[in-house]
Amino acid sequence: MNRSVMLVSLMLLGAMITSTALFGQGDKVRASLKASVSQTIGVDTEIEINYSRPGVKGRTVWGELVPYGLNEGNKYSNNKPFPWRAGANENTTISISKDVTVNGESLPAGTYSIHMVPGKDEFEIIFNKGADAWGSYSYDQSQDALRIKVKPVEAGHQEWLAYGFEDLNGNSATAFLHWEKLKIPFTIATAG
């Protein structure tokens, strides 16, 4: 192959690689798409939840896909049991612009990962300072900012995991996770 043909071939290959990178042609669509929801309470307390949305896809979620209690340790968690990530993929996070209470307990302003320990009659919700991991594999209990216990509520079928806000009351709102046929609610209120 002569030098000119090789140079043109290399330039075309470089252009194809660059266009694939620039236009996302090589990216794979996630099975659990990213989402976010936000709510203002009080005068200016901003709350934002960022998460990924797995689907039910004909599976039994609670007690099977998402086991009750801690997940068994595995190679990703160094064989240490860990809580559920409360979503899919990266940490589900909640960002709060000002100090609040969650079910009456203080939570300072900041960004936290949300983890859960599901149970048939009660869920433990964990707000953890480590908010930039993949899942809950590297969850570190010493970084917990708050743990609360809540009762799950039966709800209509929700195919794709969703977070939302309801029961808006000026200075408070009930945040919730809704998936399959359960809602896991927790009340967030302004601290002052």
pLDDT at 17 over 80: no
Put residue 22 in one of left, alpha, beta given phi > 0 → left and psi -120 to 50 → alpha: alpha
Residue 10: per-residue pLDDT: 54
pLDDT digit string, tens, across residues 75-108: 999 999 999 999 999 999 999 999 999 999 999 9
Q: What is the pLDDT of residue 9?
A: 54
Question: What CA–CA distance (Å, rounded) separates 83 from 133?
Answer: 13
Over residues 11-38, the mean pLDDT reads 64
Q: Is the pLDDT of residue 22 over 60?
A: no
> Which of 27-36, 39-48, 97-106, 131-140 is least confident?
27-36
**Rounded CA separation 64/154 (Å):** 17
What is the tens place of the pLDDT at every residue in 177-190?
Answer: 999 999 999 999 99
Does the predicted model carry a pTM greater than 0.95?
Answer: no
